[in-house]
A and B are shown apart, each in its own frame.
Chain A
Amino acid sequence: MASETILELKHVTKRFGEVVANDGVDLSLKRGEILSILGENGSGKTTLMNILSGIYYPDDGEVCIDGKTVSIRSPQDAFDLGIGMVHQHFKLIKIMTAAENIILGMEGEARLHMQQVEENVRKVVSEYGFDLNPKEKIYNMSVSQKQTVEIVKVLYRGARILILDEPTAVLTPQETEKLFAVMRNMKAAGKSIIIITHKLNEVLEISDRVSVLRKGKYIGTVDTKDASVDSLTEMMVGEKVELDFGREDPVSPERRIEMEHVTVTGADGRNVLTDISFTANSGEILGIAGISGNGQKELLESIAGLQVLQSGEINYYPPDAEKTSLTGKSVEEIRKMGISLSFVPEDRLGMGLVGSMDMTDNMMLRSFRKGRSFFANRKDPKDLAERIIKQLEVVTPGTATPVRRLSGGNVQKVLVGREISISPRVLMTAYPVRGLDINSSYTIYHLLNEQKKNGAAVICVGEDLDVLIGLCDRILVLAGGRVSGIVDARHVTKEEIGLLMTGMSKEMTTSKEEVTS
């Protein structure tokens, strides 16, 4: 293998206001190698790659390509230098075909020879072993196919250096394997690949070398063959962390929420949820697994009263009382019925909180209607804010700081703190630890366990299967808006859930659904 260095970063620094996202990062990439950039969320991986792809400009430091210092001031500059980035969020036009998306924005002759383009795309596809039809429209594609389009796009444009930003986050284990096979082909063809991830097993499987970032600082680079999960974890978080979620057995579970044959139609007229039935019990954590965008959001929002049901029923079973129907009830009606239902949505600052408002005003979101006065009471919310700061150790200058200024972990503590402050009977959380460092994550796991112990029915949508398996009691798997299985988390493997996530093999499902008293 040729070992010439193709790309080198020297002491690159990027600041956003007072936040230093990259602090003097050094990095080198050789020809024909796969380099993993490893780091927790918020460690500056994506910022660094955005510098390479011309989206950000470094405040300090140098970028060298083929030994020459270069200045990448725009994505066009990056293209010209042979750098192609595949973003975490795809940038494709849905109503166009794969080939049309691939040539979008490229200069060409006055007349467009689409057949020629498609032929060229096919050549790239077969060269690296992709699975893609250039004439296919984007809206007909799965997430994995869309990702393929993005990768082929940068290859088509002659990229020598590919940057993949968390490519496996949206893939099933099986699709990940396919991606890795293609990446190995690209490597064999002399391309250099940077893959950003925080999944250790993938790092060990695919890459030649690993560079680790921690809190914006460059920690070091090791050869993958000399690395292990333990050694990488230590580099990544700075200390050894035990993966123990402290799961206890559910105490006298009772039925709380019941969904029966619920179907929800999205804005485009297609079903986002189809015939969903399950129960959530008090004193247990029900995990929801699935590839993102397979109905998780709609499922939680249906219970919260934010979705219109096409058909089906949702019932709430209060302790020692008759069941009440939540079907067709709005958020306000559910609140007026006195049901203490809490919801930590996926979009924390866009839905759960108002980023520009301070903590007190964010506490008020749930309680501002209280009382008959025309004026709002700000004293109780302020007390609550102070209590949450103290109990959950929120790092903030004070209750008057806009929550947007807080770090991701602290924002989540504020949101979860508010939602559990009413001692909910039902607590729904979507991706509760996304973007949080390990310590904050454990604070959140601990809070969820505490709610479970207090007898709440906890529903937790997650993406990290290891966490779901370790934390939850049962796991419901969604695929294409349907329940593909409900499994006992204590006796399930990642591979089994991975298969269910693709919608296959229903027969594997253990029928442990009924745990009613």
Chain B
Amino acid sequence: MRTGFHLTKRDTISPGKAWAIRLIAVLLSLVVCGLVIMAITKDNPVRVYAALIDGAIGSKNRFWNTIRSMMLLLVVASGLTPAFRMRFWNIGAEGQILVGGVAAAGMMIYFGGSVPNAVLLFAILIISALAGIIWGLIPAFFKAVLNTNETLFTLMLNYVAIQLTNFAIILWETPKGSNSVGVINQASRAGWFPRLFGVNDAMIVILVLVITALVAVYMRYSKQGYEIAVVGESKDTARYVGINVRKVIMRTMMISGGICGMAGAIIVCGASHTISLGITGGRGFTAIIVAWMAHFNAFAMALVSAFLAFMQQGAIQIATQFSLNENASEIITGIILFFLIGSEFFINYKLERTKGGAAQ
């Protein structure tokens, strides 16, 4: 028998220890990022990190960019939470955001200026949520009735949504042939989120925090939230106590898709003011990581979103300052996510020394 190490599953781990492991992972990822950046830029890593912090919170403008980026990630993560708690692998948030965004852009184009802005905004949020609901309900319906695989289904619907967005872009492109919609209602600002309390992004922050809080309360305290948890943990138990599993699947995906659709409107009305394939910024996928890492806890999701947004915004600064292209920021985000997801392994397992094997 050889001596060595082996892995054993942890029975329990205190929250403090779990967060300590995650913190170590973050620190390690920063070290590795520093090494990578140093290898590319041949510059002092301290200067690189200074640039990173400067990029994320160095000015009022940059600070709010980071906050906005965080909020947009957080709202999608909140939208995914009910679906994932139900163990419904909704990886179609990208598509749900896009159809919501298309709906919002269409409303801005067709109704901008003809109704009061408050009414328009309200209608936009409703309609874009409806678009997301449809996009979420389709895979849920087939899952509930025919037990189709929701992972493939939601993934494929992303591509349908992409083509739908392309169609809308061609339909609305200005000027003709530019293949882009351009800023919608630039002069009238109809359908744009208004500036509140002297802050451009105030409405995004308010909307996202309200949605996040509502989702958290719904999941924790409502009967429906409890049903979702039971269905997610054990469909047999749900059947055993008479929960209508099909109904819960469809209802939950309507909520999940609806919030993601509304997130599309928040992005279009609050940030991009146009519709393009780029409005999601990959948030439909990144938010999956946010939700899982945070174990669906609202506060933890806010923290993780903030961290990722901070790193992404900071990396953009590094890219410009050290004349790298924008892929550098994605490399950095990728490294960080690798460490964060990897740390979950060490939260579930521990390395132990194999004993008693020395006698050969």
Contact = CB atoms under 8 A, between A and B. Distances in A.
Interface of A: 11, 15-19, 57-62, 69-71, 304-306, 330-332, 334-335, 343, 345, 347, 350-357, 361, 364-366, 368-369, 373-376, 405
Which of B10, B225, B237 is the most central at the interface, judged by chain A CB atoms within 10 Å of its CB? B237
B242 A347 contact: no
B226 A18 contact: no
A16 B236 CA distance: 27
B356 A343 contact: no
A16 B12 CA distance: 11
A352 B236 CA distance: 8
Contacts of A365: 230, 237, 241
Given A60-B356, A343-B240, A351-B237, A368 B11 contact: no
Given A60-B355, A366-B241, A375-B222, A354 B233 contact: yes
17 contacts: A17-B11, A17-B12, A57-B354, A59-B354, A59-B355, A69-B359, A305-B242, A331-B239, A335-B242, A343-B240, A350-B234, A350-B237, A351-B240, A354-B234, A365-B230, A366-B241, A374-B222
A62 B359 contact: yes
Contact of A306 (B230, B240, B356): B240
Contact of A353 (B221, B222, B237, B357): B237
Contact of A352 (B229, B233, B237): B237
A69 B233 contact: no
B42 interface: no
Contact of B223 (A70, A352, A353, A374): A374
Interface string B1-38: 11000101111100000000000000000000000000
Contacts of A306: 239-240
Given A331-B241, A343-B240, 6 more contacts: A15-B8, A16-B9, A332-B244, A352-B240, A354-B234, A368-B227
Contact of B9 (A17, A62, A335): A17
Contact of A62 (B1, B6, B224, B236): B1
A331 B240 contact: yes
Contact of A361 (B226, B240, B352, B355): B226
B117 to A, nearest CB: 32
Contacts of B186: none
Contacts of B360: 69
A357 B352 contact: no
A375 B220 CA distance: 9
B224 to A, nearest CB: 8
Given A364-B226, A365-B230, A376 B237 contact: no
Contact of A69 (B1, B11, B239): B1
A356 B233 contact: yes
Interface in B343-360: 352, 354-357, 359-360
A22 to B, nearest CB: 13
A467 B239 CA distance: 30
Q: Give the 4 A-B residue pairs with the shortest CB-CB distance, closest first.
A: A17-B11, A331-B242, A332-B242, A351-B236
Contacts of A368: 223, 226-227
B247 to A, nearest CB: 11
Interface in B211-262: 221-227, 229-230, 233-234, 236-237, 239-242, 244
Which residue, of B222, B225, B226, B352, has the highest number of chain A Cβ atoms within 10 A?
Answer: B226
Contact of A357 (B11, B221, B229, B242): B229
Contacts of A352: 237, 240
Interface string B141-181: 00000000000000000000000000000000000000000
Given A17-B11, A374-B223, A71 B1 contact: yes
Contacts of A305: 242
A372 to B, nearest CB: 10
Contacts of B354: 57, 59
Contacts of B356: 11, 58, 60-62
Nearest to B11: A17
Interface string B298-320: 00000000000000000000000
Contacts of A330: 242
A376 B234 contact: no
B244 to A, nearest CB: 7
A369 B223 contact: yes
A17 to B, nearest CB: 2
Contacts of B229: 354, 357, 361
Contacts of B222: 374-376
A135 B151 CA distance: 40
A332 B244 CA distance: 9
Contacts of B223: 368-369, 373-376
A375 B221 contact: yes
Nearest to A370: B223
Nearest to B241: A365
Contacts of A355: 233-234
A301 to B, nearest CB: 9
B6 A57 contact: yes
A351 B226 contact: no
A376 B233 contact: no
Contact of A18 (B6, B11, B227, B239): B11
A364 B355 CA distance: 45
B358 to A, nearest CB: 11
Nearest to A343: B240
